[in-house]
Amino acid sequence: MLIGSYSPTLVIISLCVAILASYTALDLTGRIATAKGCTVHLWTAGGAFAMGIGVWSMHFIGMLAFKLPIDLGYDLTITLLSLLTAILSCGFALWLVSQPRLPAWQLAFGALVMGAGISAMHYTGMAALRMQPGIDYDPTLVGTSLLIAVGASGAALWIAFRLRQRSPHVTLFRCGAAVIMGIAIVGMHYTSMAAARFPDGSFCGAAVSGLSGKGLDNLVLITTLAVLSIALLTSVLDARLEARTADLARSLTEANRELTQLALHDPLTGLPNRVLLADRIEQAMSKVQEQGGCFALMFIDLDGFKPVNDAFGHQMGDQLLREVAVRLREDLRCQDTLARIGGDEFVLLVRLAEPDDALSLAARQVGLIARSFRVAEHDLQISASVGIALYPGNGQTAQDLLMNADAAMYHAKGSGKNGYSFFDASMNSNARKQLQLLQDLRNALDQEQFSLYYQPKFDANNGQPVGAEALLRWEHPTRGMMLPDTFIDIAEKTGLIIPIGEWVLNEACRQMREWYVQGYTDWRIAVNLSALQFCHAGLVQSVAKALSTHRLPANSLTLEITETTAMSDADASMTVLQELSAMGVDLSIDDFGTGYSSLMYLKRLPANELKIDRGFVRDLEHDSDDAAIVSAIVALGQALGLRIVAEGVETGVQQDFLTKLGCDSLQGYLLGHPLPAERFMLDIHRAEQLAIA
């Protein structure tokens, strides 16, 4: 028997090639698993080629490592056949592990096929020696080598299948698995080599014509390394590209999500906005149509939010709105929708078991808002007016429902705020009436339906008239005399207040000029300015023009602005007020005590007069708090060097009290109602005659 020997260097190299081929195979299965379309086939074919060459070259280098005391060579055709067998069985293995699932029977079958393939490659490769006489194989060892081939293939397939997805540390796992798989392949090879016995006198039939000679091992090794490296490099680069594409796709998805969030939510509170709300209402409506039941739409509007916003600034206002949103959510279930659809307007959509449940929920929401809010060290008190529309019943479309809930909310506001109202059909006609009113208001100026009434102001100490406040009246063609409270709001909202206010200013100055000529040169005519007029750029100019047109000294005119207006945009107000004051116009802070004033600011304000709000005067006799407030306002005004006027004086007791406190002038029904100019003068003349008599 010929005794064979091994070159240890080539054995080690064959082991390294086996490990590298295994690693390449594992990496490629990962590629195939994530590839799409026809790239799957490309990767499988390329992978089969690279891996087949790897496995085969391990085997071939292992053969080259084997030495016999005779010359050896390898038949080219049979060798190529063994290479083809390796490539085919590797292709099969790659295809198998790239399937979505790998049940046990499939794994077992795959292991058999692949084991058989590798064994076939090996024994075909051995046959390429073309030994004469034939190689004598030890059946036990051959059996063992077959078992090892099938077992190693099974393990390799299973590992490749498990490690094909990208996961943390996958490279590390693949390295470990490649080492194990490499050892198994090498083990199979050398076991089957051990099974081969070469009888004495054997000679190698391929020694002369076949592949042989020095350098063959290097050639095979270098070619294999090149193929494996190219396959690995391509795979790694492609994986990078894929990862980057995945990252890109992820950030796109994220950006999309953010955009949707922005488009459908209110950025301040994070609540759904009007668009999303409309969609939810539609959904709720179809649900009710399919499954029955009912839902309520509640329009929640905050009372007293604007003064807070004006007095403390927008940041504080925003903070308050956020707190309101949190509080309104407190009581809700996750299937309810709370949306913010405007400045201080929220809408709540709730599914109800019974329509009556809306009542208790609305009451709870009103109660939640009525509790004071602590925002940036301030305790703020606001309330909410809630209008409720029910579905089915109060509207056919989402828009109808919203409009009706809105109308009901206005009703709640009209009936004293801090409460709720259910919608009923009469409210809708109210809304229609408002619209009609707006149209009428547009024509009122042209058709000369406005007039001014004058209410006298008297010196508190000597009872002498000191001037009058001009109060706007609208003689409506069908509704009769309308008071400002019924139309100033609409005029403000639509901007009509600007031309109307200009008319008032002009008319009041014209009237004052008449009185001035009649000798009442020390009187002042007071004109009310609304917030919008006050912010309007042309105000100072209009005032100057009215004064010059009617040849009036500037201090014959008092401009009344409410405390809230004066405090709203403190810096801007200050500029306008300073310009007016520089002109010599007298300035009065109306309805004082109803807003939030900053003392610091009040001190710097170039005002001449404070008008105590008639609300305090009304309750003076019964409410000791109000009495305390009035005396505090008087003291404050005196300290700041301002004239104090009390409005709404209706009783002698109020008159005495206010006079004793130190008010400078008084105004109210007790002393004179607002009247048209002629009747106003009749009263004045009558009083003058009484004084003379």
Binding site for ligand C2E (CB under 6 A): 455, 471-472, 483-485, 488, 501, 504, 528-530, 560, 590-591, 614, 647-650, 668-669, 674
Q: Check residue 528 for interaction with Mg ion (CB under 5 A).
A: yes
Q: Which is nearer to ligand C2E, 159 or 497 (CB)?
A: 497
Shortest Å, Cβ 526 to ligand C2E: 8
Q: Where does 128-215 have alpha helices with state H?
A: 139-162, 170-195
Shortest Å, Cβ 497 to ligand C2E: 6
> Cβ contacts of residue 7 below 8 Å, gap of 6+?
64, 65, 67
User: 75 contacts which partner out of ligand C2E, Mg ion, none, CB within 5 to 8 A by kind?
Assistant: none
Q: Which is nearer to ligand C2E, 210 or 593 (CB)?
A: 593
Q: Which is nearer to ligand C2E, 29 or 667 (CB)?
A: 667
Q: Which residues pair with 467 in a beta bridge?
A: 457, 524
Q: Check residue 590 for interaction with Mg ion (CB under 5 A).
A: yes
Amino acid letter at 410?
A: Y
What SS3 state is found at 292? coil
Q: Check residue 558 for interaction with Mg ion (CB under 5 A).
A: no
Shortest Å, Cβ 657 to ligand C2E: 14
The values of phi and psi at residue 473, to 5°, are -130, 145
Q: Which is nearer to ligand C2E, 124 or 665 (CB)?
A: 665
Q: Which is nearer to ligand C2E, 560 or 626 (CB)?
A: 560
Q: Check residue 563 for interaction with Mg ion (CB under 5 A).
A: no
Q: Report whether 609 contacts 646 (CB < 8 A).
A: no
User: 52 contacts which partner out of Mg ion, ligand C2E, none, CB within 5 to 8 A by kind?
Assistant: none
Show the beta-strand stretches assigned E in 304-399: 337-342, 345-352, 373-375, 378-380, 383-391
Q: Which is nearer to ligand C2E, 64 or 491 (CB)?
A: 491
Q: Check residue 310 for interaction with Mg ion (CB under 5 A).
A: no
Identify which range of 226-234, 392-400, 555-563, 635-643 contacts Mg ion by CB under 5 A: 555-563
Pairing label, strands 373-375, 196-197: unpaired
User: 484 contacts which partner out of ligand C2E, Mg ion, none, CB within 5 to 8 A by kind?
Assistant: ligand C2E
Shortest Å, Cβ 569 to ligand C2E: 18
Site for Mg ion in 205-264 (CB under 5 A): none
Distance (Å, rounded) from C-alpha 10 to C-alpha 64?
7
Q: Check residue 191 for interaction with Mg ion (CB under 5 A).
A: no
Distance (Å, rounded) from C-alpha 691 to C-alpha 668?
20
Q: Check residue 586 for interaction with Mg ion (CB under 5 A).
A: no
Shortest Å, Cβ 371 to Mg ion: 30
Closest by CA to 293, choosing from 417, 391, 383, 198, is: 391
Q: Check residue 421 for interaction with Mg ion (CB under 5 A).
A: no
What SS3 state is found at 454? strand
Cα→Cα distances 190→60, 75, 103, 113, 158, Å: 12, 21, 31, 20, 23
> Rounded to 10 degrees, what is the CA torsion of 227, 230, 231, 233?
150
Q: Which is nearer to ligand C2E, 271 or 470 (CB)?
A: 470
Closest by CA to 427, choosing from 389, 392, 397, is: 389
Shortest Å, Cβ 485 to ligand C2E: 5
Shortest Å, Cβ 452 to ligand C2E: 7
Question: Which one-letter DSSP state was computed for residue 598?
Answer: -
Shortest Å, Cβ 588 to ligand C2E: 9
Shortest Å, Cβ 415 to ligand C2E: 19
- Give the sign of the dihedral formed by CA 665, CA 669, CA 674, CA 678: negative
The C-alpha R_g of the chain, in whole angstroms, comes to: 48
Q: Which helix (H) or strand (E) holds 406?
A: helix 398-414
327: tokens are 């509080």
Shortest Å, Cβ 549 to Mg ion: 23
Total of chain residues touching Mg ion, rule CB under 5 A: 4
Question: Which one-letter DSSP state was computed for residue 310?
Answer: H
Residue for token digits 């083990």? 187
Q: Check residue 560 for interaction with Mg ion (CB under 5 A).
A: yes
Q: Where does 477-623 have alpha helices with state H?
A: 488-494, 497-517, 531-535, 539-549, 563-568, 570-583, 599-604, 614-618
Q: Which of 266, 344, 591, 609 binds Mg ion (CB under 5 A)?
A: 591
Distance (Å, rounded) from C-alpha 528 to C-alpha 482?
17
Shortest Å, Cβ 617 to ligand C2E: 8
Identify which range of 72-80, 179-187, 492-500, 590-598 contacts Mg ion by CB under 5 A: 590-598
Q: Which is nearer to ligand C2E, 341 or 677 (CB)?
A: 677
Q: Check residue 667 for interaction with Mg ion (CB under 5 A).
A: no
Show the beta-strand stretches assigned E in 30-178: 66-67, 131-132, 136-137
Identify which range of 33-41, 75-83, 189-197, 584-592 contacts Mg ion by CB under 5 A: 584-592
Residue ranges in contact with Mg ion by CB under 5 A: 528, 560, 590-591
